[in-house]
Amino acid sequence: MPEQKQVRVRFAPSPTGSFHIGNARTALFNYLFARHEDGTFVLRIEDTDAERSSGEFEAEILAGLTWLGLHWDEGPDSGGPYAPYRQSERRTSYEEYARRLLAKGQAYFCYCTEEELEAQKQDLASRGESPRYSGRCRNLTEAERAKFQREGRSAVLRFQVPEREVSFKDLIRGKISFDMALVGDFSIAKVALNRPTALQSGGQATRATESLEFSPLYNFSVVVDDFEMRISHVIRGEDHISNTPKQLLLQEALGFSCPEYAHLPLILGPDRSKLSSRHGATSLKAYREDGFLAGAMLNILAFLGWNPGGTREMLSLEELIKEFSLARVHKAGAVFNANRLEWLNAQYLRALAPEALLECAVPFLVSAGLLQPADGGYRIVKTGEQMSDSYLQAVLRLEQGRMKKLSEIAALTEFFFVDVPDYDANLLPWKGRGKEDTREALEAVGAVIEAVPAEDFTVGRLSEGLLAVAAERGDRGIVLWPLRVALTGREASPDPIEIAAILGKDKTAKRLQAAITKLRD
C-alpha cells in the first residue's frame, strides 16, 4: 500500500493590505482541512514585496486568525521545524535554488527594459499571437550580457518555459490544462548585480567575487517554500489557478515533489461581481469592530463555497472540523451576503450567556463614551455613578434580542446612562390627550411607584399597580406612553415597566418627577 502522505497545509497571506474576507475564508478552509485530517496548519507570511508589506498588516492577520480561533501549528511567531516562516527571512534558500536553475540552463538573465517588453508584446499581438515574453534574452552571448551590464541595465531571472501542455488534477475543479506555449518565459526573481570591488586590506588590493542578489518573485518563492515546508496540499483562491502550471514546471525543474492543489471558488457580491469594497466592508477587522461575533463570522465564511448538506446553518468550529471535506466545495462563485451575516450574528448574540454578553458589549459602551472603567468595574461617564455587573447585565439583556451587531448597543441603551433623559415636553401626552390629563396620569403612576418597596421593585409588582391605574382610565396608552417618554425620552423603546424595574425605584421616581415638572411649565 502506498504510504499515506502526512497532511501539511499552509495559509500564505501577503501582508500588503487589510486582512479581508476572501483571505479569511482561505485560512478557514486550510485550517478545517488540516484539523479534519489530523494534519498540520502552517502560517507563512509572504512578504517578499518589501515596499508593499508591513508589520502592521502582518499583526492584523495574526489578530484576525486568533479572533476566529484558527490557531496555527507553525508560524512566524511560534516557529516550527521549517522556520523561518517569513519569506523575507528565507532569501538564502531562494538564491541557492535560483543558482541551480541557472547552472542547468533552465533560467537566464533578461535585460529587456519595460519599453522593450511592451514593444515585444505589441508586436506579437499584432501578429495574432499571445502577448508573452519574446524570448529575446534566452541565448545571449557573454559579450552581449557584458554589454547590457555595462549599460547599467537591471536584470530579471527568467525561467525557460517548455512549449507544451501542462495539466493537473484540481481536487475541486478536476483536470485543468494549460498550453504553456502561450505563456512564455516568466520572471522568477529580480537581480541586483554587486559589481566586483577593490577592497583595501592591509595595504593589499583584494578582488571581491562578483555576487548576485536575488529578490525572488511570487511563483518562485512559493515553490521553494512549499517544498521545503513539506506542504502536501495547496488550498487557495481561484485567482491563483493560472499560477499553478508555472509552479508545477518549477517543481519539475528543481526535482521537487508536487503538492495536491485545490482552488476555492471566487467570492462574489450580491450583484455576482467579484467582492470588493463597492459591496461594503471587506476587511475582517471592520466586521469585528462593528460588533460581529467570531462564531457568526466563521459560519458565514465556512458557507462561502461549502456546506455540510442538510439544513443546519450554525455550526461550532468543532462541528465544522468534523463535517469539512474538499469534496463538498463547489466550483461556482460564492455570494457573500452581508444581510445573512447580520441575521446570523443576531442569532449568536441572542444565544450569549449574560456574562459573555457583558464581556463583549461593554467595550462598545466604553468606546461610545457612555461608560468608563473604574475600580475594577464601570462608571457612568455622565453621572459618575458606579454600575454593578448585574445592573449592566440587565440593561444588555433587555436589548439582546433586538441587536444585529454590538455596535448598535450604545444607541439602544443610551438612556440608561444619563441622570434624566432630555426630550421635549410635547412628546409626553398620549394621542388626543392634553398636558393636564397626562400630568394627572403620571401622578397616579407616581403613587404606584411610591407604594412598591425598593427591594421588590419587580415587573410583576409594577404591572399590577400600573395596569390597575390604566384600567381606571379605560386606556393603557394614557399611562404607559408618558411613562415610556419619562423613562427613556423616546417614542420607541422596550416595555417601560421592564425599564422601570431595571432602573429601580429611585431613578424611576426621579425621571417621573422630571416629567411632571415639565408638564407644569
Can you give the binding site for ligand GLU, defined by CB under 6 A?
Answer: 12-14, 46, 222, 236, 240
Closest CA to 208 of 220, 218, 200, 219: 200
Would you state the cell numbers that stand for residue 65, as one nine-digit string? 486568525
| Residue 417 Cβ vs ligand GLU, minimum distance, rounded to whole Å | 43
Q: Which is nearer to ligand GLU, 14 or 106 (CB)?
A: 14
Q: Which is nearer to ligand GLU, 57 or 148 (CB)?
A: 57
Q: Which is nearer to ligand GLU, 13 or 75 (CB)?
A: 13
Task: Find out whether 45 and 85 touch, Cβ atoms under 8 Å.
Answer: yes
Residue 74 carries which DSSP code? B
> Could you give the 3-state DSSP secondary structure of residue 315?
coil
| Residue 228 Cβ vs ligand GLU, minimum distance, rounded to whole Å | 14
Q: CA angle, corner 452, sides to 451 and 456, nearest 5?
A: 160
DSSP states along 433-484: --HHHHHHHHHHHHHHHHHS-GGG--HHHHHHHHHHHHHHHT-SHHHHHHHH
| Residue 53 Cβ vs ligand GLU, minimum distance, rounded to whole Å | 10
| Residue 502 Cβ vs ligand GLU, minimum distance, rounded to whole Å | 49
Q: Which is nearer to ligand GLU, 14 or 393 (CB)?
A: 14
| Residue 95 Cβ vs ligand GLU, minimum distance, rounded to whole Å | 20
Q: Which is nearer to ligand GLU, 222 or 469 (CB)?
A: 222
Q: Which is nearer to ligand GLU, 233 or 433 (CB)?
A: 233
Q: Which is nearer to ligand GLU, 53 or 345 (CB)?
A: 53
Closest CA to 487 of 469, 470, 471, 505: 505
Closest CA to 72 of 61, 60, 87: 61
Specify the pairing of strand 211-216 against strand 204-207. Answer: unpaired
| Residue 235 Cβ vs ligand GLU, minimum distance, rounded to whole Å | 8
| Residue 61 Cβ vs ligand GLU, minimum distance, rounded to whole Å | 10
| Residue 159 Cβ vs ligand GLU, minimum distance, rounded to whole Å | 17
> Could you give the 3-state DSSP secondary structure of residue 107?
strand
Q: Which is nearer to ligand GLU, 37 or 47 (CB)?
A: 47
| Residue 321 Cβ vs ligand GLU, minimum distance, rounded to whole Å | 21
Q: Which is nearer to ligand GLU, 90 or 236 (CB)?
A: 236
**Locate cell 459591496: which residue?**
279
| Residue 44 Cβ vs ligand GLU, minimum distance, rounded to whole Å | 8
CA 307 – CA 302 distance, rounded (Å): 7
Task: Find out whether 487 and 511 touch, Cβ atoms under 8 Å.
Answer: yes
Task: Find out whether 305 and 264 touch, Cβ atoms under 8 Å.
Answer: yes
Contacts 24+ apart (CB under 8 A), 469-472: 469/441, 469/444, 469/445, 472/444
Would you state the cell numbers that stand for residue 184, as one nine-digit string? 512564455
Q: What residues form DSSP beta bridges with 10?
A: 42
| Residue 254 Cβ vs ligand GLU, minimum distance, rounded to whole Å | 16
Segment holding 175, helix H or strand E: strand 174-179
Q: Which is nearer to ligand GLU, 217 or 380 (CB)?
A: 217
CA 479 – CA 482 distance, rounded (Å): 6
List, in sequence order, every beta strand (DSSP E) within 195-323.
198-201, 204-207, 211-216, 233-237, 260-264, 267-268
CA 364 – CA 401 distance, rounded (Å): 17
Q: Which is nearer to ligand GLU, 284 or 358 (CB)?
A: 284
